[in-house]
Structure 1
Amino acid sequence: MADASMMARIKDGDGFIAALDQSGGSTPGALKAYGVPESAYHSEEEMFALIHEMRVRIITAPAFTGARLVGAILFERTMDGEAEGQKVPAYLWQQRQIVPFLKVDQGLAAEADGVRLMKPIAGLDALLDRAVGLGVFGTKMRSVVNLPSASGIAAIVDQQFEIGAQISAKGLVPILEPEVLITSPDKAGAEALLRDAIAARLDALPADAPVMLKLTIPETPDFYKPLIDHPKVVKVVALSGGYSRAEACAKLAHNHGMIASFSRALINDLRHDQSDAAFDATLAAAIEEIYQASTVKA
């Protein structure tokens, strides 16, 4: 059973969810954007140490608190790491009142039938047990929709809900993330198929196994309102999907009940060589902009 106070924080708290879950494949790009070139590290361990330093700098910054954030999604190594002498999930919840989530997927298969399913998740049960032991509330897993293929989208949704059931059985709340690419040649058509497929699976869910949804900001404002209002959905959050922060926030502000779960749009202006004052001010401005788009609707 999910922690009741964390559940209340996610369900009813004001704020958004930070996505700090870049994994091995995306870490070099994240570090480069932060101002750390590949020449600055010479092994995977050094690379992950540098990205952990960046994440700790973010989550210990003055603005990174429950006043504006309700949750944070972590990469496995971040979950296992420490911030100010505490395991990161404990630090987030006990010191910042921010609910910890864990990214569990291990990448995407090649595109087939207009979509990219998740690769098999090796060792998922053991990972989930570790997450429970560290006080994590929920998980996140991403797959991708490119084309409005009814059969492809059905396969995506089936996979997300099937693995979601495995996660729910551990007492964790899964965030299901079937991302519709903003470059899709028919994004609205894909969204229509996706919404209907998700709604059908939600109706069949047990009452004691709620889910969250992480979706691309839709072409039509409030298009996902039926999913937001569904009794088996804890919260629907939006990914930035390659939009700039300004564009993502402008679009999100027209979607009532949908909050942000941004990654690049949150951290894009942060740099390794910024002074602490400049870093903290830059992060605070980004947090405030995303918070407003999540809580003050057009």
Structure 2
Amino acid sequence: MNKKQIDLMENGEGFIAALDQSGGSTPGALADYGIAEAEYETEAEMFKLIHEMRTRVITSPAFSSDQILAAILFKQTMNNKMEGKYTADYLWEEKGILPILKVDQGTENKENGVQLMKPMTKLEQLLEEAKKHNIFGTKMRSIIHSANPKGIKDIAAQQFEYGKKIYDAGFIPILEPEVNIKSEDKFESEKILKEEILKLLQELDDEKYIFKLSIPSQADFYQDIIEHPNVVRVVALSGGYSQEAAVNKLSENHNMIASFSRALLQDLDVDQSKEEFNNTLKDAVIKIYNASIT
């Protein structure tokens, strides 16, 4: 592992940009950007359009290592180029921003109040590709909908199981057991999840993980996890909150940084001029950065 990169993620000031919309979430991301589904016919056309959007974001002067530590990519983005370089190399060599790859294959149907990740049948092959593309870390997501102790225990165990495999392959994994922000017993779920995470952290040797968690119901609730020696960073997902709400809630949580997608991109539009686009992106970046350095 690259010690310089680990040090940047552990100690740098800034946040993670989540640009990893996959096949299922891409139509919604394009619609938010002003491109309706009627404007493309095939999956290839859809992925071409989303790559053009991501290229516009990443190559913008507003997308800078002054505020952004890392960017999470989808496999299609990793395998495509920006300004003549593969995306991960462009991020690190031209921008000084760490490239991270989404590796999960989606989630199962809800059971015991949670959605576990589908078995990662392509993980080994994907990690080999990631190594060739100089990827720093990975991200994988599962979802907690209610405070079911068995379901949450299973979620945590699965995240740690895959995290170990990914770390052993030479990457820093982001474990993302998301708690649904609309859950009626969100705080109860967070309490169970925190207990399970701390329990499993005690069983680790020298593994280093990043956790991507929903912004907690109680400010600074995850400080015990943040301060654990096996934890590189705890980052927050926006989870459907608007940019304003996500930024305000995150600013109440010290040493927790953003890993936002919708809250970062929500005001961007395909028809904006270059100046309008860059200014809009810069405004979002500054707001999210300020909330991340509290």
The TM tier, using the shorter chain, reads over 0.9
Partner of residue 55, structure 1: 54
Give the Cα–Cα distance (whole angstroms) in 1 for the partners of residues 119 and 146 of structure 2.
22
Partner of residue 283, structure 2: 285
Please tell me whether residue 225 in structure 1 is matched to residue 223 in structure 2: yes
Q: For 1:65-104, what aligned pairs fall within 5 Å after superposition?
A: 65-104=64-103
Partner of residue 215, structure 1: 213
For structure 2, the residue ranges without an aligned partner over 5 or more in a row are: none
Give the TM-score normalised by the residue count of structure 1: 0.98
- The superposition leaves residues 112-147 of structure 1 with CA deviations (integer Å, 9 ceiling, x where unpaired) of 000000111121101001101111010000000011
Structure 1 segments of 4 or more deviating over 4 A? none
- The superposition leaves residues 45-90 of structure 1 with CA deviations (integer Å, 9 ceiling, x where unpaired) of 0000000000000000001010000000000000111111001001
Give the Cα–Cα distance (whole angstroms) in 2 for the partners of residues 159 and 197 of structure 1.
12
Note the C-alpha offset of 1:5: 1.1
Residue type matched to 1:224 in 2?
A: Y
Partner of residue 4, structure 1: 3
Residue type matched to 1:246 in 2?
A: E
- The superposition leaves residues 145-200 of structure 1 with CA deviations (integer Å, 9 ceiling, x where unpaired) of 01111110000001000011110111001000000000111000000000000011
Give 3-state SS (helix, strand or coil) of 1:261's partner.
strand
Please tell me whether residue 161 in structure 1 is matched to residue 173 in structure 2: no
Note the C-alpha offset of 1:206: 1.6
Give the Cα–Cα distance (whole angstroms) in 1 for the partners of residues 25 and 146 of structure 2.
24
Partner of residue 188, structure 2: 189
Note the C-alpha offset of 1:287: 0.2
Residue type matched to 2:15 in 1?
A: F
- Number of equivalences: 294
Note the C-alpha offset of 1:39: 1.2
For structure 1, the residue ranges without an aligned partner over 5 or more in a row are: none
Q: For 1:220-259, what aligned pairs fall within 5 Å after superposition?
A: 220-259=218-257
Give the Cα–Cα distance (whole angstroms) in 1 for the partners of residues 223 and 124 of structure 2.
33
Percent identity of equivalent pairs: 50
Give the Cα–Cα distance (whole angstroms) in 1 for the partners of residues 247 and 209 of structure 2.
24
Partner of residue 126, structure 2: 127
Give the Cα–Cα distance (whole angstroms) in 2 for the partners of residues 5 and 100 of structure 1.
14
Give 3-state SS (helix, strand or coil) of 2:16's partner.
strand
- The superposition leaves residues 15-46 of structure 1 with CA deviations (integer Å, 9 ceiling, x where unpaired) of 00000000000000000110001111110000
Partner of residue 176, structure 1: 175
Give the TM-score normalised by the residue count of structure 2: 0.99
Give the Cα–Cα distance (whole angstroms) in 1 for the partners of residues 78 and 121 of structure 2.
18
